[in-house]
Structure 1
Amino acid sequence: MTSWKTDFLQTQITSETTPKRALVILNQPFSEGLFLRLWSSSQWHCCADGGANRLFDVVDSAQRTLFLPDLIKGDLDSIRNDVKDFYISHGVPVVEDADQDSTDLMKCVSAVQDLETEQQSEYDIVLLGGLSGRLDQTIHTLSYLHKLRKTRKRIFAVTDDNVGWVLDGGEHIIHIDHSILGPTCGLLPVGIASTLLSTTGLRWNLWNQPSSFDGLVSTSNHLVPTEDTVWIRTSNPIWWTAELRS
């Protein structure tokens, strides 16, 4: 049984008992409020190329030095010169990786892995972006996190509208904070031929229900306000998504 929490979306400062988290900022729009929550709940911060533009623009100019990332990495074809010059002048490493067989997201995850090797410590990864904007980039996020389930315990993708992650085959308990999540959610058979789904804690529960792109897909399901957990059993990996409240 794997247990999941989204406490990194809460407004309070994280405690010493919460997992270490690495925030990877992608080149997609996001609100200041969401950014501030994720920044404060993460211990290491990285911008994927043009994600540095997003960080630079979302923060008031008088406070930019309070939100300096630990690293900017990518092929650097999107970062603006004024943004790059600002962060370099404040000591932020800006690393060009011209490998065209890996995306900027993949390069930043590799940087997190290097950090973990150096510190002998594991981080949860939170992606700010990745589920909105261009469809091909969204599909890349879905595919890449599907693959990463084999090597990483927890990696989440967050936008202003949704939070999502991959549930590997097996049983899962998702702890629901109804002040943050809902009401809608989805169980998506992405990257697999089919799966068998069973659930509790949803408005429309499933029991050994076949799910596939050729058959049933549980979209627009609802969290139940009186239920603090959702239990899911899936025979193959799926994507779980939940709506974020304003």
Structure 2
Amino acid sequence: MNNNLDAIIGDLDSLLPNVRNHYAFQDEPAEIIHDSDQESTDFTKAVSWARSKNGANVDIVALGGLGGRVDQGISQLHHLYLFQPGPRYEQGRVFLLSGQSLTFLLKPGKHAIHVRDGGGGDVFAKHVGIVPLGEPSVITTHGLEWDVENWETHLGGRISTSNHVLPETKTVIVETTNQVIFTIALAGTE
């Protein structure tokens, strides 16, 4: 298993010298890319770099994607919308994986989200949230403790947080008229 980084990219203002040296002097050193553009975040720079190296439609999992300061968390959620323009996932999907949850964007349409395999090695816990951060949406769900049907949701109004996946549910179905954020807790965090 290769534990080396491919690249460190950003304005590098918080990159400590010992960390830089550690990755610069590996057997397979990381490419260190200084990009002083203050109009884009380091996360934007990293995703753009990954897509330029791996193809524009690559799926990306950002580890440690949420947590810490609220403004940075909101920025990460904003990036889910920014990195996935258009009606489908033509440029690949972006997932934010923290120590407690997996968060991703659902485009308009019907989605089947596999939450259990039935083998007892569950990756996900029961808590889910479905939140529209852009336009209001109308959602219908199946497989949750508090399923909704043709339910209008928007910030400043009703939002679906702290819902539960039913114990027998293997696949949660979410139908949405506009983009929404879907988040689910990881097993062992509740």
TM-score normalised per structure 2: 0.88
Q: How does 1:28-177 map to 2 (within 5 A)?
A: 67-90=3-26, 91-117=29-55, 122-150=57-85, 151-177=90-116
Residue 22 of structure 1: aligned partner = none
State the number of aligned residues.
178
Residue 185 of structure 1: aligned partner = 128
How big is the shift at 1:190? 1.0
Measured in 2, the distance between the counterparts of 1:180 and 1:86 equals 33
Residue 209 of structure 1: aligned partner = 151
How big is the shift at 1:101? 0.5
- Identity across the alignment (%): 34
Deviations, residues 81-137 of structure 1 (Å, cap 9, x unaligned): 0110121112221111111111100000111121134xxx74210001232111111
Measured in 1, the distance between the counterparts of 2:186 and 2:91 equals 24
Deviations, residues 140-162 of structure 1 (Å, cap 9, x unaligned): 11111112221533110011111
Q: Aligned to 1:222, which of 164, 178, 181?
A: 164
SS of 1:140's equivalent in the other structure is helix
Measured in 1, the distance between the counterparts of 2:68 and 2:126 equals 23
Residue 7 of structure 1: aligned partner = none
User: Would the aligned equivalents of 2:58 and 2:91 in 1 still touch at CA under 8 Å?
Assistant: no
Instruction: List alignment gaps of at least 5 residues for structure 2.
Output: none
How big is the shift at 1:229? 0.3
How big is the shift at 1:177? 2.5
Residue 174 of structure 2: aligned partner = 232
User: Would the aligned equivalents of 2:116 and 2:169 in 1 still touch at CA under 8 Å?
Assistant: no
Instruction: List alignment gaps of at least 5 residues for structure 1.
Output: 1-39, 41-65
Structure 2 counterpart of 1:139, one-letter code: I
User: Would the aligned equivalents of 1:143 and 1:191 in 2 still touch at CA under 8 Å?
Assistant: no
Structure 2 counterpart of 1:124, one-letter code: D
Measured in 2, the distance between the counterparts of 1:128 and 1:96 equals 21
Say which structure is richer in helix: 1
Q: 1:244 and 2:176 equivalent?
A: no
The two structures, once aligned, show a CA RMSD in angstroms of: 1.5
